[in-house]
Amino acid sequence: MSLISSEYDVVVIGGGPAGSTTSTLLAQGGLNVGLFEREKFPRFHIGESLIPETYWVLKRLNMLEKMQRSHFVKKYSVQFINANGKLSAPFYFWDNKPHECSQTWQVVRSEFDQMMLDNAREHGVDAHDGVHVIEVLFDRAERGQGSSDGDGEADRAGRGQGIRATGVAIKQDGVRKEIRAKVVVDASGQAALLMNRMKLRLWDPVLNKGAIWTYWEGAYRDTGKNGGATMVIQTPGKDGWFWNIPLHDNIVSLGVVAPFDYLFKGRQGNHEQTYQEEVENTPAVKERVKNAKRVTGYFATRDYSYRSTQVAGNGWVLVGDAFGFLDPLYSSGVLLALKSGELAADAIIDGLARGDTGAAQLGAWGETFNHGVDRMRRLVCEYYDGFSFGNFVRNYPELRNTVTDLLIGDLFTDKVDKVWGPMESLYPDDKQRLPTWREGMVPEAAQHKANELTLPEGRTP
């Protein structure tokens, strides 16, 4: 067992982009940080397309130069193909913001996440992979206000009733060890350790999709500036869409996303058959892979759209997917992981400096963050409800840049809100009201939810 301290200022659970970001910034702020990642890195992960606003956090992390030196494909734009096979003009990020931040990357996550974790180590984070956090520890001294069972304790901590996170218990090579910390950051991704334990998860009442994907060698690639574009290709029946993400080494990540019932219920075959049927039915996709070789099996996931009712409690904070995940449509996941990591780290540094690690201080960023996620959620839901970028910019050419602002992830500012009125002016008469995420899913539907990831046979993360 590599040497693990029994006490840190902050313990971070998970070494994905959210965990690496939070821990690096905390270490930059002079704190003693321990990070525990259950998998041995490098490990597989989905989430390959970055969006431009990641630039600013990558800059703070001192990751920019590493990214610029990397072999990751450079991404300058996103482009849409509608159900009739009609191609929109590319949304070039540079046209919107002529700054180097407008070029971003398509990354192989096993490599990107390793780089981020190594970078955290270089900044002084005591990061250990292959170490499973089995539970978050809560202050027993402050107990006695109710029952002493673990769940009740965590429930009360979640609602900010005095109980405080004081560290974690880890397991490495079968040995359990308790580690103390002033603050625990949960960056455990969709495993969502604390959210599950405290029952804080609200399933999105609208977004109820699944995805099946695989990797192709030698698939069609655009050339020049368009060679790194993410393509969003709607299926002809408008039931779903494909992502087409060009990666290095001539590999393309190609996945189909559609409502859960459509993709997984009442289909005759396995994931492979469903995927192949969708490729067969979507000429713009079929054309792209006709000369390509599939180089992996099929991956599938479902029930991934949710948020926690809280970003923080006493002594604990949630970041990245451990707080919430929206939808893959506009590739906002890694940005939101980085952004929440950044906001959380700032709140923790400030809180520790003032001796305040209460829920209000650690979660002070939650409202702004949720508001930003709401903007992206609305854009996602509008697309699923028939919104056409092409039609919108034809009607409101002066708002092309503002829509592009949303697509690049510039979500945390009121200036983008001027698109909603014009968008509403194009609504059909029978358009339904969009429930907010806080309304959650009706309990009968929620009880069938089972956030799942299926890997190809024989494959481990």
Judged by the rule CB under 6 A, the positions of this chain that interact with ligand FAD are: 13-19, 36-39, 45-50, 132-133, 187-191, 193, 211, 301, 304, 320-322, 325, 328, 331, 333-334, 337
In the complex, minimum distance from the CB of residue 356 to ligand FAD, in angstroms, rounded to a whole number: 25
In the complex, minimum distance from the CB of residue 26 to ligand FAD, in angstroms, rounded to a whole number: 15
Q: Is 422 exposed, middle or buried (0-12, 13-18, 19+ CB in 10 A)?
A: middle
CB nearer ligand FAD, residue 37 or residue 204: 37
CB nearer ligand FAD, residue 263 or residue 416: 263
Residue 104 CA to residue 309 CA, distance in Å, equals 31
Q: Please calculate the CA angle 366-383-258 and round it to the nearest 5 degrees.
A: 95
In the complex, minimum distance from the CB of residue 417 to ligand FAD, in angstroms, rounded to a whole number: 23
Residue 266 CA to residue 274 CA, distance in Å, equals 11
Residue 22 CA to residue 114 CA, distance in Å, equals 15
- Going by C-alpha positions, the residue among 141, 259, 181, 151 that lies closest to residue 11 is 181
CB nearer ligand FAD, residue 52 or residue 315: 52
CB nearer ligand FAD, residue 208 or residue 396: 208
In the complex, minimum distance from the CB of residue 211 to ligand FAD, in angstroms, rounded to a whole number: 4
Q: For 390, phi and psi rounded to 5 degrees? A: -60, -50
CB nearer ligand FAD, residue 16 or residue 440: 16
Residue 368 CA to residue 167 CA, distance in Å, equals 27
In the complex, minimum distance from the CB of residue 333 to ligand FAD, in angstroms, rounded to a whole number: 2
CB nearer ligand FAD, residue 143 or residue 180: 180
Tell me how far CA of residue 247 lies from CA of 17, 49, 50, 63, 211, in angstroms: 19, 9, 12, 19, 19
Q: Tokens 């170490």 map to which residue? A: 131
In the complex, minimum distance from the CB of residue 106 to ligand FAD, in angstroms, rounded to a whole number: 8
Tell me how far CA of residue 32 lies from CA of 28, 58, 449, in angstroms: 10, 21, 38
In the complex, minimum distance from the CB of residue 114 to ligand FAD, in angstroms, rounded to a whole number: 11
Tell me how far CA of residue 30 lies from CA of 20, 27, 157, 345, 348, in angstroms: 15, 5, 27, 12, 12
CB nearer ligand FAD, residue 137 or residue 399: 137
In the complex, minimum distance from the CB of residue 47 to ligand FAD, in angstroms, rounded to a whole number: 2
Residue 388 CA to residue 82 CA, distance in Å, equals 8
Who contacts 158 (Cβ-Cβ below 8 Å, separation ≥6)?
A: 194, 198, 199, 200, 310, 313
In the complex, minimum distance from the CB of residue 289 to ligand FAD, in angstroms, rounded to a whole number: 18
CB nearer ligand FAD, residue 104 or residue 282: 104
Cβ–Cβ < 8 Å for 94, 103: yes
CB nearer ligand FAD, residue 191 or residue 426: 191
CB nearer ligand FAD, residue 50 or residue 406: 50
CB nearer ligand FAD, residue 123 or residue 399: 123
Residue 279 DSSP label: H
Cβ–Cβ < 8 Å for 115, 66: yes
What is the token pair recorded at 265? 């219920």
In the complex, minimum distance from the CB of residue 450 to ligand FAD, in angstroms, rounded to a whole number: 14
In the complex, minimum distance from the CB of residue 341 to ligand FAD, in angstroms, rounded to a whole number: 8
What H or E segment, with its residue span, contains residue 169?
Answer: strand 165-172
What H or E segment, with its residue span, contains residue 300?
Answer: strand 299-302
Other CB atoms within 10 Å distance of the CB of residue 436: 13
